[in-house]
Amino acid sequence: FTTMATPNSDNNKALVHIARDKIALRSAFHTQIIRSCTQAITSRENFVLAISGGSLPSLLSGLNESFAAVSVNPQYKKWHIILVDERLVAEDHPDSNMGSIKNNFLSSGAASSIPPDQILTIDYSKLRDDGVDKAAASAIASCYGTALKNILDSFSSHRIDLCLLGFGEDGHTASIFPDHPLLAMNDKDTLVAYIQDSPKPPPFRTTLTLPTLNSSREILFVGTGAGKQKVIDTVFIRPTTTKIVYGAEDVAILDLEMVDPPQLPCAMVRLDGSRVKWLIDANAAGNIIGKCKGQE
């Protein structure tokens, strides 16, 4: 798995890692987390990891074993876990992103040693039994933003170390959806916003804003399945390489230019001075592979 591009890289380019299958994808996903963790703790004695919901938390399963396999001590007591977005439901609700992250990772093995006060959840006390209204959603987002700022200022020089993002078949990421007013939010002081009109239930959610995402040190998008092909085709320009070459870990790496102006929310996530990484399986990358002359 390659390191981030050099600081003079254009932010309209991305490193796209194509895994031959889901086993290779999970391995590459864990490798990125291990490398980012090691670098952050070496540099700043802390690791701030932001995790989105959907199917992504399931990929965290087995991460403890992956650290052990390469003889790296994760030093979990130095970790800080941040929610990229959250559905405004109780933690034990099936739709809760934090519930999914805990079930797949935080509640098992060595990861359970991450101090609870270093796992930033929403303020569940502000949820009402009869649902959520705008006032409650606004208060939850505001509280989360304040707590996040304190973590970033205190432990990570104002930036998330690694942000793990998924992307939907409509091109949304976090809880930022196509044609939503949040796409126009450029206030860097507003770290967290809320929405009340998610096109996917539940409607009330909190989400990191685009400026917050784009200020991260590293960003990794992850997606699998043929249903993601259309998004990949919309985000990236035709590859210039002539062949897909899978490496020893069954992962091929393409340096791809992104379409400008971006057409989808996920394509608006760009790093200043370095490249966003995308990790997808061969099914999601089917059309990219098809545009190349071959693979090996």
Tens digit of pLDDT for each residue in 59-69? Answer: 999 999 999 99
Domain that holds residue 192: 20-285
Report yes or no on 10 lying in a domain: no
Cα 104–Cα 105–Cα 107 angle in degrees, nearest 5: 100
Confidence (pLDDT) at 296: 53
Measured from the Cβ of residue 68, the count of other Cβ atoms closer than 10 Å reads 13
The CATH number of the domain where 200 resides is what? Answer: 3.40.50.1360
Share of the chain above pLDDT 70, in %: 93
Separation of CA 283 from chain center: 20
Report yes or no on 5 lying in a domain: no
Confidence (pLDDT) at 8: 39
Measured from the Cβ of residue 167, the count of other Cβ atoms closer than 10 Å reads 27
Confidence (pLDDT) at 279: 98
Report yes or no on 3 lying in a domain: no
Report yes or no on 97 lying in a domain: yes
Report yes or no on 14 lying in a domain: no
Report yes or no on 7 lying in a domain: no
Q: How far is Cα 276 from Cα 38, in angstroms, rounded to an integer? A: 19
CA proximity to 207, closest of 264, 259, 165, 154: 165
Tens digit of pLDDT for each residue in 250-279? Answer: 999 998 999 999 999 999 999 988 899 999
Report yes or no on 64 lying in a domain: yes
Tokens coding 116: 């609870």
Tens digit of pLDDT for each residue in 32-80? Answer: 999 999 999 999 999 999 999 999 999 999 999 999 999 999 999 999 9
Work out how many domains the chain is built from and give that number.
1
Q: How far is Cα 179 from Cα 172, in angstroms, rounded to an integer? A: 10
Asked whether the predicted pLDDT for residue 174 surpasses 60, the reply is yes
